[in-house]
Chain A
Amino acid sequence: MRIEILGTGCPKCQATEQIVRKALAELGMEAEVVHVSDPRKFGEYGVILTPAVAIDGQVKLSGYVPSVEEIKRLLVR
Chain B
Amino acid sequence: MTWWQVILSGFEALKDYIALHVLTCLIPAFLLAGAMVTFISREAIVRYMGAATSKLKAFALAAGGSFFVAACSCTVIPVASGLYYGGAGVGPAFILLWVAPAANILALVYTGTILGEKIVAVRLIAALLMAFAVGGVMSLAFRKEEKARAEPNPSQTTQVQTKVMKRPDVILLLLLVLALLAPNYIVQRGPYYQKVIVWAVGMAIAFGYAFLTKTREEIGHWMRETWWFVRLIFPLLLAGVFVVGIIGALLPEAWVTEWLGGASLRSSFLATLIGAMSYFATMTEAPLVHKLMGLGMGTGPALALLLTGPGLSLPNWLAIARVFGVKKALVYVPTLVVLGTLVGWIAGNTVLR
- A64 and B82 form a contact (CB under 8 A): no
- For residue B231, which residues in chain A have a CB less than 8 angstroms away from its CB? 11
Given contacts A10-B75, A48-B43, A48-B47, contact A42 B224 (CB under 8 A): no
Measured between C-beta atoms, what is the minimum distance from A65 to chain B in Å?
7
- For residue A44, which residues in chain B have a CB less than 8 angstroms away from its CB? 85
- B43 and A63 form a contact (CB under 8 A): yes
- A43 and B43 form a contact (CB under 8 A): no
- For residue A65, which residues in chain B have a CB less than 8 angstroms away from its CB? 224, 228
Measured between C-beta atoms, what is the minimum distance from B99 to chain A in Å?
16
Q: Quick one: CB contact mask for B159-178 with A, threshold 8 Å, 1 for yes?
A: 10000000000000000000
Measured between C-beta atoms, what is the minimum distance from B190 to chain A in Å?
40
- B82 and A48 form a contact (CB under 8 A): yes
What total of chain A residues lie within 8 Å of the partner, measured CB to CB?
20
Given contacts A48-B79, A49-B79, A64-B37, contact A40 B85 (CB under 8 A): yes
Given contacts A46-B156, A49-B42, contact A39 B82 (CB under 8 A): yes
- For residue A10, which residues in chain B have a CB less than 8 angstroms away from its CB? 74-75, 78
Given contacts A40-B85, A47-B82, A64-B221, contact A12 B77 (CB under 8 A): no
Helix, strand, loop or mixed for chain A's interface? Answer: loop
Contact of B184 with A by CB under 8 A: no
- A50 and B43 form a contact (CB under 8 A): no
Measured between C-beta atoms, what is the minimum distance from B215 to chain A in Å?
14
Contact of A14 with B by CB under 8 A: no
What total of chain B residues lie within 8 Å of the partner, measured CB to CB?
28
Contact of B121 with A by CB under 8 A: no
In A1-22, which residues have CB < 8 Å from any B CB?
7-8, 10-12
Helix, strand, loop or mixed for chain B's interface? Answer: helix
- A46 and B86 form a contact (CB under 8 A): yes
- A11 and B85 form a contact (CB under 8 A): no
- For residue A47, which residues in chain B have a CB less than 8 angstroms away from its CB? 82
- A12 and B228 form a contact (CB under 8 A): yes
In B37-94, which residues have CB < 8 Å from any A CB?
37-38, 42-43, 46-47, 74-75, 77-79, 81-87
Measured between C-beta atoms, what is the minimum distance from B183 to chain A in Å?
29
Measured between C-beta atoms, what is the minimum distance from B127 to chain A in Å?
22
Measured between C-beta atoms, what is the minimum distance from A75 to chain B in Å?
19
- A43 and B85 form a contact (CB under 8 A): yes
Q: Which residue of A lies closest to B322 (CB)?
A: A39
Most chain A Cβ neighbours within 10 Å, of B77, B82, B83, B220? B82
Q: Quick one: CB contact mask for B229-272 with A, threshold 8 Å, 1 for yes?
A: 00110000000000000000000000000000000000000000
CA distance A50 to B159 in the complex (A): 18
Most chain A Cβ neighbours within 10 Å, of B38, B47, B81, B323? B81
CA distance A51 to B79 in the complex (A): 10
Residues of A within 8 A of B (CB): 7-8, 10-12, 39-40, 42-44, 46-50, 62-65, 67
What 4 A-B pairs have minimum CB-CB distances, sorted nearest first? Answer: A43-B85, A39-B81, A48-B82, A48-B46
Between-chain CB contacts (< 8 Å), 13 pairs? A10-B75, A11-B232, A12-B228, A39-B77, A39-B81, A43-B82, A46-B86, A46-B156, A48-B79, A48-B83, A63-B37, A64-B38, A64-B225
